[in-house]
A and B are shown apart, each in its own frame.
Chain A
Amino acid sequence: MAQIALPSIDYMVILQILIIFGSATALLLIDLFIPANQKKITALLALGATIGALVAGPYSNSGVTMANAVAFGSSTLIVNSIILFATAISILFASDAMHKQGIERGETYVLMLLATGGMLLLAQGASLITLFLGLELLSIALYILTAIAYPRIASEEAGLKYLIIGAFGAGFLVFGIALTFGATGSLVLSEIATRIPVTGIERSLFFTGIGLMLVGFGYKVSLVPFHMWTPDVYQGAPTSITSFMAVGSKVAGFIAIIALVQMLGAEAQVITPVLMGIAVLTMLVGSIVAINQTSLKRMLAYSSISHAGFVLLGVLGSTQATGLRAPIFYLAAYTLTNLAAFGVIMVLEGSEERDLTLADLTGLWTRNPWLTGIMALALLSLAGVPPTVGFLGKFLVISAVWQSGYMWMAIIAAFASAFAAFFYVRALLSMFSGTTDRPRMTLDARSSLALLIVAVGIIAVGLMPWSINAIALAGS
C-alpha cells in the first residue's frame, strides 16, 4: 500500500497563525476557570497573544509551505501587522465597552482570536482552499460575535442577517473555486497563473469562476451591489465588534481580492472594466447614501462602503509599476481611522444600548474636548483632509490610478470624495456647535490607551508614512 506523502511544513512561515490559533484554543479552556466578573483577564491574555503574534512577525520566514497552500512575504508582513494591530485595539475596546454594557463573555475574545486567525489565513493564503478556509473561519466567528449581545434584539437580528447573506456569498465563492479548478486543474494560485486557458469553453469557465469568487469576496468587503447587509449589521452589532468587523474583514477580504487580481497578471484586463464600474458605483453609492443617514453607525457603514470603492480602485491602479503601495497604505489608513471613529462612538454609548445619532454629537466639544479632538481627527481622515493619514491614502490611490492610465477614474474618485466630505464635515462641526445637557463621559484606561494610540497613528502615519514599513519590519 502506497504511503501517503505528507508535505513538509516550515513552521516559521506560519508562525503568526500558529500563535493565534494556539492561544485561541488554549484560551477557550483557560476561560472556563476565570470567574464571570473577571473576564478582563481573558481579554488581557488574548491581548497578550495578539501582541505576541505581532512581535513574531519579523521573525517569520519568507516562503511558501504546506504544499503551496500558505505563503509569507514582505507585503504579507505589513498586512498581518495591520490585522493584528486592529485586533489588539478591538480587544481593548471590547473589554471596556462590553463590561460597561453587561454583555462581556470570555468567548468574545476567543472568537476574536479565531476571526483574526481567519484573516491571517486569507492574507497568507496561496491556494484557493486556504482562501476559502480563511474566509469561512473569519465569517463564522463574526456571525457569532455580531449576535453576542444576547438579549438585545438588534444584535440577534444583525447576526442572522449577516449569517444568511454571508452564506450566500460563501456559496458564490465555492462555486467559483470549483469552476476555476475545473478549468485549470489546480488550486494553487501560482500554478493557476501559468495555466490560464487561452481559448475555448475552459476560458469562459475560468473567467466565470473568477467572477463568482470576486462576488464572494465582494460580499465580505461590501462592494456595491453586494453591500446591502452592511448598514444593518454595523448598526445592530455591539460597537466594539462593529469596529473589529469593519476593519479586519475588509482588510483580509481585500488582500484576497488583490491575490486574485495578481494571479491573473496581464489577463486581469478581461475583468478590469467590470471592476472599474463596480469601484465607481461603490464610491458613489457609499458617499451619496451616507448623506441621508442620521445614525452614526449607519453613516460610518456607508462611509466604509465608499472607502471599499477607493481600495478597489487602488488595487486596479496598482497592477503596473507602482506596486501595491496605494491599496495597502489605504487599508492601513482606513484601519486607523475607523478604529478611532468607532472607538469614540463606543465610548459615547457608555452603558446605554441606544443607537447614537448625529444630534448626540451636538456640543460634544463643551463636555469632552479630548474625545472631540479624536473624533475630529478621525472624521478629517475619513474625508481625506491633510495632514491625516486618510489624505495620503486618497492621494496615493488617485495618483496610482492616473499613472495606470485611468485618468477618468481619478476624476470620478475626486468627485466621490467631494460628495463624501459633506457628511463628515457635518458631523465634525456638530461637535463644535451648540450645547448639550448630556453628562460628560468618563473613559476607562483601556479605551483611553487604545484611542490615544490610533489618534497618534492618524497624525504620525500621515506625516511619516514610511513608519508603517519601519514598524512592521522592526527587528528583522
Chain B
Amino acid sequence: MISLTAASARSLQRTIAWIVSIANAALVVYALTAMQPLGGYQFVESVEWLSDIGLKYAVGLDGINVWMVVLATLLTPLALFAARNESTHQKSFHALILVLSASLIGAFVATDLLLFYVFFELTLVPTAVLIATHGSGDAKAAAIKFFVYPFIGSVFMLASIAGLVINHYQQTGLMTFDSVILSGAVLNGTLVLDQNLERALFAGFFLAFAIKTPIWPFHTWMPQAQASTPSNGSVDIAGILLKIGAYGMLRFALPFFPHAAVWAAPAIGVLAVISILYSAVIAFGQKDMKVLLSYATISHLGFVMLGIYSQTVEGVTGALITMINSGLTTGALFLIVGILAAQRGSRNRDDFSGVWLTAPTFGTLTLITVFASIGVPGLNGFVGEFLSMQGAWLAPQLGYSYVVFAVIGIVLSAAYLLRMYRGVFMGAAPEENAIHEPSTGELAVLGLLIVAMIVIGLYPNIITSISNASVTDLVNSLNANSQ
C-alpha cells in the first residue's frame, strides 16, 4: 500500500516532490492508526516475481518496521524543507531525495530477503549521487567511499543470503527468500545450520549491517561523507534516514542466526560500547558542527546495537525508540546547524557567539533539542537510552559492565553538546552580522519536531503500544532458539 508511491514520482518539480512526500506521510499516519496491536505482518502484499527461484515481491508492516517507515516519511519533507533555498541542481535534488525515500521504505517493508537486499543496495545510489552533485570540498572522494565501503559489506551479505537459502532448499526442498518462512524454519528446527556455517553466514550479514549502521570500527565513511555534503543539512537529514543497518540486524541477522548472535553478542557489545565512547570523545574535539553531529549519531547507534544484542524486550524496544529519537533529534540539530550556516557561511562553532541575545526563541528551541539529544528525562532521548541500557543489564550475555561504560558515554554527550551550545549561543553577541531569528516557518518546523520529542518523552506508550506485540514475538523466538 504505502510501498512505492514515491517511486512513481518521476517528475522533477519540487511541488510534486512535496505533494508526494506529504501524501506518503498521510498514508503512513493512516496505516499507523489502522494497525492492530498484534504480532505478525499486516497490510501484506505478495506477488510472484521470479518463481523458479522462489523470489517474491512481498511487503508487509508490523509493529517494528512501521516506525521505521514513519520516520522515513516524516523526515523526507524535512530534508526537502532544509533545501528550500538551495538553487543549484534543484530538480535532480528532489528526484534523488524521492528515490532515496522510496528505496528506504522499500527496504523497511520488504519481507522477502532478496527484495530487501535490492532496496538496501538501491539506497546507496541516490545518496552517493547526492553527495557527488551537491557536495563541497572533495565530494567525489567522499561519495566513492560512501558507496564502496557499504557495498563491500553488502556483497558478503549477498553471499550469505545465497548460502542461507540454499541450505534451506537442501534441507526442506523449498526454494524461498521469504523471511517469515526462513526464520520460522530456524525456529521450529526444520532448518539446522552447522555451527561454523551459521557463524560464517551471520558474519556476512553482520559485516553489511555494521558498516551501514555504522559502528566502530566500520564508521569511517560517515563523517567524511557528512563533511562534504552541503551546509544546509538536507542531505544529512536524508542520511540519518539510513537506519537500515540497525533495522537489518534486528529483522534479519538475529532471527536467522540466533545461536551465532548470542555467541557474538559480548564481542558486538564491546564494539557498541567503544562506538559510544570513541565517537563521543571525537565529537568533543570537533569544531565543524556537522561532523560533530555525525559522531553524535554514531554514538546513538552504539546504544541501538547494545539494545538489539541484549535480545530482551526492554533492550529491543529501547533500540527502536533510540533509532526514532536519533532521527528526530539529530534531524532537528542538522536543521539548526543549517540555519546557522546559511546566515554566517560557516559551520565552525568558533565563528559564533551570543546567538541567544539576538535570537532568543531560536536559542530556546535549540536548547530543548540539545537536552533531548543528551537524554534529559522527560524528553525522548532518555526513554530510548534508559531502556537500551536496562535491556543490556538484564541480558545474560551482556550484563552491567557494559552499562557502566555506556553511562560514561551519556556524560560525554552532555559535555560535547553543551560545550557547543555554550560557545554558539552564550557569551557576547558580535557587534555586526549578528545572527537574527530564523523565519517563522523554520521555527514552526523546529517546534513540531520538539512537540514530537516531548510526546515520546512523556508518553512512550504511543510507540510501544504498537510495537510491543511484534517485539515480544521476536524476542521470544530468539530466546526459544538460543536455549
By a beta-carbon cutoff of 8 Å, the part of chain A in contact with chain B is 365, 380, 383-387, 391-392, 394-396, 398-399, 402-403, 407, 410-411, 413-415, 417-418, 421-422, 425-426, 428-430, 432-434, 465-466
Residues from chain A with a CB closer than 8 A to the CB of B135 are 433
The answer to whether B471 has its CB under 8 Å from any CB of chain A is no
B98 within 8 A of A: no
Chain B residues with Cβ below 8 Å from A387 are: 118, 122
Q: From residue A429, how far is it (CB to closest CB) to chain B in Å?
A: 4
Q: Give the distance in Å from the alpha carbon of A434 to the alpha carbon of B166 in the complex.
A: 45
Stretch with Cβ within 8 A of A (4 or more), from B151-159, B212-220, B396-404: B151-159
Q: A384 contacts which chain B residues (CB < 8 A)?
A: 155
The answer to whether the Cβ of B412 comes within 8 Å of any Cβ in the partner chain is no
Closest 10 CB pairs of A and B: A386-B118, A399-B162, A418-B152, A432-B132, A414-B159, A433-B132, A433-B140, A429-B132, A418-B155, A425-B147
Q: Is the CB of A421 within 8 A of B151?
A: yes
With A386-B122, A398-B159 given, name 16 new contacts (CB 8 A): A385-B122, A385-B124, A385-B125, A399-B162, A407-B163, A410-B163, A413-B159, A414-B155, A417-B155, A418-B156, A421-B148, A429-B140, A432-B143, A433-B132, A433-B143, A465-B50
Taking the closest CB of chain A, its distance from the CB of B364, in whole angstroms, is 40
A433–B133 CB distance below 8 A: yes
Known A-B contacts A386-B117, A402-B166, A414-B158; A422 and B148 likewise in contact (beta carbons under 8 Å): yes
**B interface majority secondary structure:** helix
B335 within 8 A of A: no
Number of A-B contacts (CB under 8 A): 92
Q: Which of B128, B156, B163 lies in contact with A425, CB distance below 8 A?
A: B128
Q: Do most interface residues of chain A lie in helix, strand or loop, or is the interface mixed?
A: helix
Residue pair B121, A402 in contact (C-beta under 8 Å): no
Taking a contact as CB atoms under 8 Å apart, the answer to whether B133 and A365 are in contact is yes
Q: Is B165 an interface residue (CB 8 A)?
A: yes
Given contacts A365-B133, A395-B114, A434-B140, contact A429 B147 (CB under 8 A): yes
Which residues 150-208 of B have a CB within 8 angstroms of A? 151-152, 155-156, 158-159, 162-163, 165-166, 169-170
B127, chain A: closest CB distance, angstroms: 11
Bound form: Cα–Cα A413–B135 in Å: 33
Q: Point out the residue from A385, A421, A426, A433 that lies within 8 Å of B139, measured CB to CB.
A: A433
> Contact at B148–A432, with CB atoms within 8 Å?
no
Scoring B residues 101 to 122 as 1 if CB is less than 8 Å from chain A, else 0, what string do you get? 0000000000000100111011
CB <8 Å contact, A432 and B129: yes
Chain B residues, CB < 8 A from A402: 159, 162-163, 166
Instruction: Report A-chain residues with C-beta under 8 Å of the C-beta of B119.
Output: 386
- Taken together as a complex, chains A and B put the C-alpha atoms of A410 and B92 apart, in Å, by 37
A82, chain B: closest CB distance, angstroms = 19
Rounded to whole angstroms, the CA-CA distance of A414 and B200 in the bound complex is: 14
Query: B129 contacts which chain A residues (CB < 8 A)?
Result: 429, 432
A247 CB → nearest B CB, Å = 24
| B144 located at the interface, meaning its Cβ lies under 8 Å from any Cβ of chain A in the complex | yes
